[in-house]
Structure 1
Amino acid sequence: MDRFENLNFYELLEIPVNASSFEIRQAYRNALSIYEEDSMISDAFFTDEERNVILRRIEEAFSMLIDKGHRVAYNRKMVDSGAIDASLLENIKPKPKGPIPLFSLKKTGGQETLSLKVRARIRGNNFAEVSQPVLSKDLISGKDLKKLRKHVGIAIEEIFEITRISLKVLMAIESDDVASLPQAFYLKNFLKAYAELLKLDSRKVIDGYLKNIGHLNDKK
């Protein structure tokens, strides 16, 4: 675990310091696929707690590097500390020409287009039948929501792109990480946006999720 803590964000995502935004997104997705809960690779080497620490670190790296302003500030800090060579930052790779990658869509028309694509997947995957057993439960966990999201092939980055709920919060919701969840008022609104995107009954999702969180707190 110390090895991950000592890596800078570029090393963590295994990308060059002049990586393009497209390369950052691709590296982020690859990292998630390795360390997510259902990954056989990480399951053999890390405990659940260690994996959650790594995932939070990966999310932090992505959030920092994908934002132009934050990345400039981070690069300056790394150069000042001697961690990276300033000359390597002179040629940041531009966005690729041609079709915009799915996760590069902006918040305007692109965001609406992505939302339509997500909903088309929901309609084509017998989602109503799969989601009904979850919605009928008294306690709805983050793992239940994650399972439904994955059933229709929706990446967590897509939820972020459409709803603008931070990846950190989305990961906390799906992992039932009570300590990292926002205050109840914000959590309810985030759950409502998440549920509505997946065409779920938002009232049932909110009630079931909050009951489950209360149940987890009672067990402590």
Structure 2
Amino acid sequence: MDDQEALLKKLILAEQQFRLACTVNLAVTNNVQSLDVPVEWSFGKHTVSYEDFGLRIDQAEVVAPLLEMTATFVVAGAIRDAVAGYFPNPKAHNDSNVVSAYQISRMLRNAFSHSMLSPKWSIDDDCKNRVFNIEDVISLDTSKLHGQFASWRDYGGPLAIFKFGRYVRENILGKTVDPNRQKPPFPTIECYQQGRLIARRVDVMPPDAVEIAAGETLVLGNGHFIRAVTRNDG
């Protein structure tokens, strides 16, 4: 069995992989993700050309979101292993957050283990019709989930997974994130994202752009809208 330090490192790596998957998905959406592959790639006894191995942009747009999905499985598995490695019997722990962290991560991992691309819930009898919750982080209501395909709506989406991993690291395993760590540079493309809606700052307005005045609202559909406000630099 891995020692606790090794389990923690694996959780950190899983989080970084998840962040990279989300980053690649955004880059593909912004059409700035390089899809270059070797013109010819040899490995062992196999050789492929770019024509066989490379992706078209339309293919990348379909599979990039799947990276987030499969990375979710990796994070869930790393959380489950870490909690189980730190606590002898996490499902019966006296701290409800430890129990929830273990059960949510375990059930997520199990859902993906049935099918990575079409995860399906398999809820044990002792977990059915229960709510496992870590306040302001992640919540899973198992009612009516058994046998259903897993959806981000069941647990709160990708940012819930990110916050879940961070919470476990800091509040359950007691390993705080270094506030003085080296930060990444400011993004080269300035985007703001709400759900799956991405707003991108541009230098030149597109010819078909819709202009709204301060105080006006532009309805984008699916519950999204943009409201123009007056900027106060003072």
Please report the TM-score for the alignment, with normalisation by the length of structure 1: 0.29
Higher normalized strand content (fraction of residues): 2
Identify the structure with the greater helix proportion: 1
RCO comparison, higher one (Cα < 8 Å, 6+)? 1
Larger Rg: 2
TM-score, normalised with respect to structure 2: 0.27
